[in-house]
Amino acid sequence: MRSAPTILHLDMDAFYASVEQASKPSLRGKAVIVGGLGPRGVVATASYEARRFGVHSAMPMAQARRLCPNGACLIPRFSLYREVSELVMGLLRELSPLVEPLSLDEAFVDLEAGGVAFDAAGARAVGERLRADITAATGLSGSVGLAGSKMLAKVASEEAKPDGLLLIEPGTERDLLAPMSVRTLPGVGPATGEHLRRAGITTVGELAEAGEDELVRMVGKAHGAGLYRMALGLDDRPVVAERDAKSVSVEDTFDVDLHDRVRIRNEVRRLADRCVGRLRASGHSGRTIVLKVRRYDFSTLTRSETLRGPTDDPAVVREAAARLLEGVDTTGGVRLLGVGVTGLADYTQEDLFAQVRAAEADTDPGVALESGAVVPDGADAASGTAGAGAAVGGPEGGGAAVAPVGSPEGSPVRHWAAGSDVRHAVYGPGWVQGSGVGRVTVRFEGPGSPPGRARTFRVDDPELEPSDPPALVGPG
Three-state SS for 255-312 is: EEEECCHHHHHHHHHHHHHHHHHHHHHCCCEEEEEEEEEEECCCCEEEEEEEEEEEEC
Nearest to 55 by CA among 67, 73, 40, 42: 67
Confidence of residue 189 (pLDDT cuts 50, 70, 90): confident
- Give the end-to-end CA distance of the chain in Å, rounded to a whole number: 41
Question: What does the pLDDT read at residue 255?
Answer: 76
CB atoms within 10 A of CB 295: 18
* pLDDT for 308 beyond 90: no
* Paired sense of beta strands 428-436 and 421-424, if any: antiparallel
- Residue 398 or residue 189, greater confidence: 189
Q: How far apart are CA 80 and CA 74, in angstroms?
A: 14
Mean pLDDT within 244-258: 83
Q: For 283, left (φ over 0), alpha (ψ -120 to 50), or beta?
A: left
Catalytic residues: 106
Model confidence pLDDT, tens digit, residues 354-391: 433 443 343 332 222 222 222 223 333 332 322 223 33
- Could you give the CA distance from residue 404 to residue 421 in angstroms, rounded to a whole number? 18
* Per-residue pLDDT at 121: 96
Confidence category of residue 242, pLDDT binned at 50, 70, 90: low
Lowest-confidence pick of 210-214, 291-295, 319-323, 471-475:
471-475
Half-sphere exposure of 267 (CA within 13 A, CB side): 22
pLDDT of 272 above 60:
yes
Alpha-carbon distances of 395 from 195, 398, 423, 452, rounded to whole Å: 45, 9, 21, 11
User: How much is the average pLDDT of 10-23?
Assistant: 96
Look at residue 114 and tell me whether its pLDDT is greater than 70.
yes
CA–CA separation, 343 and 307 (whole Å): 10
Closest to 190 in 3D by CA, of 147, 145, 96, 254:
254
Count the neighbouring beta carbons within 10 Å of the beta carbon of residue 288.
Answer: 16
Cα–Cα distance between 59 and 36 in angstroms, integer? 11
DSSP state of 162: S
| Selection from 310, 171, 138, 151 nearest residue 238 by Cα | 151
CATH class of 180-231: mainly alpha
Q: How far apart are CA 326 and CA 324, in angstroms?
A: 5
pLDDT given at position 473 = 63
Amino acid letter, residue 344: L
Residue type, 207: L
Residues with Cβ within 8 Å of residue 132, at least 6 apart in sequence? none
The span from the CA of 50 to the CA of 60, in Å, is: 14
Please determine, looking at this structure, whether the domain spanning 247-345 carries the CATH number 3.30.479.10.
no
**43 and 75 Cβ atoms separated by less than 8 Å:** no
Q: Please give the Cα distance from 378 to 315 (Å, whole number).
A: 5
Report which of 135, 134, 205, 196 is spatially closest to residue 173, judged by C-alpha positions.
Answer: 205
Q: What is the DSSP letter of 177?
A: H
Using a pLDDT cut of 90, give the percent of the chain over it.
61
Higher pLDDT, 115 or 363: 115
* Bridge partners, residue 339, by sequence: 250, 291
% of the chain exceeding 70 in pLDDT? 84
By DSSP bridging, strand 72-74 and strand 32-35 are parallel
Domain chopping of the chain, boundaries: 180-231, 247-345
